[in-house]
Amino acid sequence: MTPDTLSLKLSRFMHITWLNKLLMLGLLSYIVIFCIYCLVNYPLQDLHKNTYGLATEFINLVIIVTVFWVVQCSQLAKKAYIFVSLGLILWIMGITAQLLGDVVILPYWISLYLDSFCRTIGITITAYGLFKTISFMQKMHNRLAQEFIVDDLTQVYNRRCFYKEVKNATAVLYTIIIIDIDHFKLINDDFGHDMGDKILKEFAQKINALFENENIFARIGGEEFAGYFPSSNTDEIVQFSEDILNVARTINIKDERFVSVSIGIAKNTQCEPFDSVIKRADQALYKAKNSGRDRFEIAQ
């Protein structure tokens, strides 16, 4: 799911459909018609003896009807919506019967089926519907959390996550490398954006496999990627950069045309801010590009 798709789904959370309106109208009609029917056909009770119970049941009815209205105004997952709505309808039918039982003398079958049975079944179904609702919200939360840290196309860390993780890292000395796919615009122009996306995904997957332990790899924009190493050992960094260059050369674009990359490397100095290190790595990257590409440069 892309961020735009997810945003579209979230934007529908307060959209009332014709079905929601029909259910609300039907429920209110039932309450009015049932109350009129009972008041007309059954004898009144002594309201002075049932004032407290009548007030309590009326408040309960108002609360549950309000909850039902809120549910109709919320775009839940289909199963969650069905179970919660059905459960609340039965629950409201039970409370309505119980409320009228404090006003008039109802037949035993109404007290049994509409009061006790409907209310008990309604509460049970509503509870299950709420469970489905919580599960739905948890899935949405997980998707949002995933999209917050992972690039949607390549499935590696994104720029936001990379900057956050590096700034929170505890290594005193570390190295930043920036990798840029050479002539990526030409790949899109010559073979189309679908091929460009395929190259990005394959490249990210293969390079990400090289990163281990506390190393971090991320896509920081377009065809540009970045890596973090909690070390400043020059020999290790040089060998790793050579590995990246060699792996990139194995990615076949089309007709024996292979990928190449340019790499900029910067090792931090003590007390140097991260923004300064990333800037020096970026400058080394441009030096590698201006020097012929398919190579790496280490910032001095």
Per-residue three-class SS string for the chain:
CCHHHHHHHHHCCCCCCHHHHHHHHHHHHHHHHHHHHHHHHCCECCHHHHHHHHHHHHHHHHHHHHHHHHHHCCCCCHHHHHHHHHHHHHHHHHHHHHHHHCCECCCHHHHHHHHHHHHHHHHHHHHHHHHHHHHHHHHHHHHHHHHHHECCCCCCECHHHHHHHHHHCCCCCCEEEEEEECCHHHHHHHHCHHHHHHHHHHHHHHHHCCCCCCCEEEEEECCEEEEEECCCCHHHHHHHHHHHHHHHCCCEEECCEECCEEEEEEECCCCCCHHHHHHHHHHHHHHHHHCCCCCEEECC
The one catalytic residue among 223, 224, 256, 297: 223
272 is catalytic: no
Contact 159, 262 (CB under 8 A): no
Please choose, from the candidates 89, 116, 92, 99, the residue with its C-alpha nearest in 3D space to the C-alpha of residue 38. 99
Contacts of 239 (CB under 8 A, 6+ apart): none
- How many Cβ atoms sit within 10 Å of the Cβ of residue 269? 11
Would you please indicate which residues are annotated as catalytic (active-site) residues?
223
